A = this chain, B = another copy of it.
């Protein structure tokens, strides 16, 4: 099962600094998630997380600009996976198909981590603040998907067709994501495939 902590770079060539940093960051994330699930988002302060993860609040805010970002961490991970999926697609594949496949891979990642993600979903639903500001794919992350997609071939990253394609794909994935965590259908990836078929495939060509 793919893990949460990952180094964004392929090789295992990490300096001691980076390893320490990643370990500390991962510990922080896991401590935060555990506390959130136990007590609820609003009942856990940054201070609490720092005590559990054994770091200073000042350091916490170096890892995460805001407390919300800890909850949004899975989104970042999923976007990173999608980027990898796009980069790995063979040249010549239409953009829509590339995105479709990349998001299917993200979907299988979600399925692998269903338990944790449903836990975090409950955390979001139970916090009035998170309900109003739910974790989502940030515009800069979406822009990265566009850029990555445009990098294959000579497409214009600023063109509205490409941006629309990505926006619809992300929207479709989100619709499936909500369905899946709410009531896991028997064959979730087939469901995702169907949703993406409607959302993404019309943009082919």
Interface residues of A (CB under 8 A from B): 65, 131-134, 136, 138-140, 160-161, 163-164, 167-168, 170-172, 174-176, 178-179, 191, 195, 198-199, 202-203
* Majority secondary structure, A binding face: helix
A167–chain B nearest beta-carbon distance, Å:
4
Q: How far is the CA of A185 from the CA of B170 in the complex (A)?
A: 26
Which of chain B's residues has its CB closest to A172's CB?
B164
Q: A168-B172, A172-B167 are in contact. Are A160 and B195 (CB under 8 A)?
A: yes
Q: How far is the CA of A203 from the CA of B171 in the complex (A)?
A: 14
Q: Are A199 and B134 in contact (CB under 8 A)?
A: no
Q: Are A167 and B160 in contact (CB under 8 A)?
A: no
Q: List the B side residues contacting A203 at CB < 8 Å.
A: 198
Q: List the B side residues contacting A179 at CB < 8 Å.
A: 160
Q: How far is the CA of A103 from the CA of B29 in the complex (A)?
A: 40
Among all A-B residue pairs, the 7 with the closest Cβ atoms:
A202-B202, A167-B171, A171-B171, A168-B168, A164-B175, A163-B175, A168-B171
Q: How far is the CA of A186 from the CA of B132 in the complex (A)?
A: 36
Q: How far is the CA of A174 from the CA of B65 in the complex (A)?
A: 26
A171–chain B nearest beta-carbon distance, Å:
4
A97–chain B nearest beta-carbon distance, Å:
16
A176–chain B nearest beta-carbon distance, Å:
7
For the complex with contacts A164-B195, A167-B175, 17 further pairs of A-B residues with Cβ separation under 8 Å are A65-B132, A131-B140, A132-B138, A132-B140, A133-B133, A136-B136, A160-B175, A163-B175, A164-B171, A164-B172, A164-B199, A167-B168, A167-B171, A167-B172, A168-B168, A198-B203, A202-B202
